[in-house]
Amino acid sequence: MAVEAPPRTAPVGADIAIRTELRRHPRIFETLIEAALFLSGAISILTTIGIVFVLSRESLLFFSSGEVTLAEFLTGTEWQPAIGNFGIWALANATFVVTTIAMLVALPVGLAVAIYLSEYASDRVRGIVKPILEILAGIPTVVYGYFALTFMTPILRGIFGEDVVKIFNTASAGIVVGILIVPLVSSMSEDALHAVPTSLRQAAYGLGATKLETAIKVVLPAATSGVAAAFIVAISRAIGETMIVAIAAGAGPNFTFNPFESAETMTGHIVRISGGDLSYDSIDYNSIFAIGLTLFIITLILNIISRFVVNHFREEYE
């Protein structure tokens, strides 16, 4: 009758060695990286809180001066600090006109470039075109401003007439702002389109769809969240643009919807007024912070909309 041998057991010393080997070892380098990343995030949050605090404090001084009310500020259409008129729509209207023109230029062109790079261009062409777009995005905005004033404005005056198009106008500023943000739209949209799984494209081709039909009816709807986020970020960029509108749009508040007339945007007004001789704590000086707070709120609303759109239309594929 055979007797089974007892199971072999590891020596006690070997078991302790295994548990010691499996024990988590401290990684000082990773800990430092984690701390640096946390510090970066904390600095970003604290910087945002500081910006909001400064803008709110100085804006409170503006509205508590007794010379302007919040209702007048939000509904007025005249901005003449010399006589006590502080209607933000005189500046906001020009900002929205420039932004609208810029979006009419940037969104279709940027999306078309993104579709071409994602669906049609070869790797070699993509490697050439994308760096060119990045160079376009890296040009200083002051150069764009003089480009709008000395190149785009003469073209518009030659087409529509010198009596119709003023030397300083929101149309040329808006067109050039649109050119400025084309790389932003195209790059972000191309990333969203490129992230769509290839299996969707292959399935569409298998059903007989052409490349254009696949790009428009399959890939683009699948990347809606990323493309919409790119559009909203581009709108925020256009609203916050400063030097182009300061040089080409005009230097006087004007409540008008005519893009061929001169008008001053919120950012352009801030640049012009802050560069002048304003005494601290004066009504004109404090109005700059009220305009800045308005810009911050508009941008915040756009960012919230962007997050909502991304979360609402996000699709995950396995």
Q: What pLDDT is stored for residue 144 in this prediction?
A: 92
Considering the domain architecture, whether residues 135 and 58 belong to the same structural domain is answered as: no
In 3D, which of 136, 244, 232 has the Cα closest to residue 189?
232
Is 60 exceeded by the pLDDT of residue 6? Answer: no
Kindly tell me the burial class for residue 116, based on how many C-beta atoms sit within 10 Å of its own C-beta (0-12, 13-18, 19 or more).
middle
Considering the domain architecture, whether residues 143 and 257 belong to the same structural domain is answered as: yes
Considering the domain architecture, whether residues 60 and 77 belong to the same structural domain is answered as: no
Structural domain for 30, as ranges? 12-64
Q: What pLDDT is stored for residue 177 in this prediction?
A: 94
Residue 263 resides in a domain: yes
Say how many domains are in the chain: 2
- CA 270/CA 264 separation, integer angstroms: 10
Kindly tell me the burial class for residue 276, based on how many C-beta atoms sit within 10 Å of its own C-beta (0-12, 13-18, 19 or more).
exposed
pLDDT tens track for 127-136: 888 888 888 8
Is 80 exceeded by the pLDDT of residue 25? Answer: no
The whole model's pTM is what? 0.83
Domain boundary, last residue among 64, 84, 100? 64
Is 90 exceeded by the pLDDT of residue 59? Answer: no
Residue with the bigger pLDDT between 145 and 17: it is: 145
Least confident of 122-126, 169-173, 238-242: 122-126
pLDDT tens track for 267-301: 988 888 877 666 776 787 788 888 989 999 998 88
